[in-house]
Amino acid sequence: MADLLAGKVAIITGGTSGIGLASVERFVAEGAQVVVGDIQDDLGKQLSERLGDSVTFLHADVTREEEIAALVALAVDQFGRLDVMYNNAGNQGDASTLVDLSADGFDKTMSLLARSVALGHKYASRQFQAQKSPGSIISTTSVAGLQGGWAAASYTVAKHAVIGVIRHAVAELSSAGIRSNAIAPGTIMTPIMARAFGVPLDEASDFSEFLSERLGPKLPIGRVGFPEDVADVAVFLASDLSRYVTGTVIPVDGGATAITQGTFGVDVVAAANEYLSKK
């Protein structure tokens, strides 16, 4: 593939690490100009310097509505238009079980993972309509948005809510040529995976390698996923190849949610604990 996104302007939130970073790199390789929103300023500056004029970084906390609006305004100011909004920013959220859930922890998780997606739709679709042009909105959900048991309660609820947003967007926005789709990553080796288990970031690579060895053979496709696996799907959804695709949720999970996985969710925790016990 080459130049699938030539001439397109995209916003990618959470674009300085993990899935977001891989997506920024792929979008640029395919010819897009990208506004990256993230709270990791040092990484954002390094990314802009490395990728040059194709990337503009803006500090953006997506739990703040005005900062989502600012990303759209910057894209238009810097590149003249907007074609793709990729709502990707997130973290593991509140780790409490349902019986220990706090309203504050739940609300913060929902704000980051679900409300930000709704507001990303709001400001991107306003710009698409102002341009009188079609547009693509992509949002990161999770296998935890498809099934229970993959993650903590707040995260699971929030990721289910993301799917609600994209399906409602079809009802409201399709007549304006605006498409909305979601990607549901499975076991993807990102820094979030390490942080979720309290593994220091300088050990994230070792942790990922350990999990890959333990968990890969348990997945139908025989390996764990990597950020690039998700980024390739994001390119498809951003490009005109998916011009007749909207309201879909694409699992990028190696087939995990296609079959009954039995104890896989428990296996993830057990493997992580085995790693930590050796330290």
Q: What's the pLDDT tens digit per position in 130-156?
A: 999 999 999 999 999 999 988 999 999
| pLDDT attached to residue 158 | 98
Q: Work out the widest C-alpha separation in the chain, in whole angstroms.
A: 58
- What sign does the CA torsion over 205, 10, 252, 168 have? positive
Over range 27-50, report the average pLDDT.
97
- Which of 86, 155, 244, 275 is catalytic? The answer is 155
Query: Could you state, in order of their start, the residue ranges of all structural domains in the chain?
Result: 9-190+225-259
Q: Is 155 a catalytic residue?
A: yes
Helix axes 227-238, 18-29, angle to 10 degrees: 50
Say which residues have a Cβ less than 8 Å from residue 179's Cβ, sequence separation at least 6. Answer: 134, 135, 136, 137, 237, 242, 243, 245, 246
Q: Report the pLDDT value the prediction gives residue 29, as an integer from 0 to 100.
A: 97
Per-residue pLDDT, averaged over 97-116, amounts to 97
Q: Name which of 17-26, 190-199, 200-209 the model is least confident about.
A: 190-199
The pair of structure tokens assigned to 123 is: 């400001």
Q: What is the pLDDT of residues 228-254, one digit of tens each?
A: 999 999 999 999 999 999 999 999 999
Instruction: Name the fold adopted by 9-190+225-259.
Output: Rossmann fold (3.40.50)
Average pLDDT over all residues of the chain: 93
Say what the pTM is: 0.90
Is pLDDT at 70 greater than 90 in this prediction?
yes
pLDDT for the residue numbered 207: 84
pLDDT score, position 261: 63
2 has pLDDT over 80: no
Instruction: Please name which of 193, 116, 227 lies closest in space to residue 162, comparing C-alpha atoms.
Output: 116
User: Does 191 score more than 80 pLDDT?
Assistant: no
pLDDT(192) > 90: no
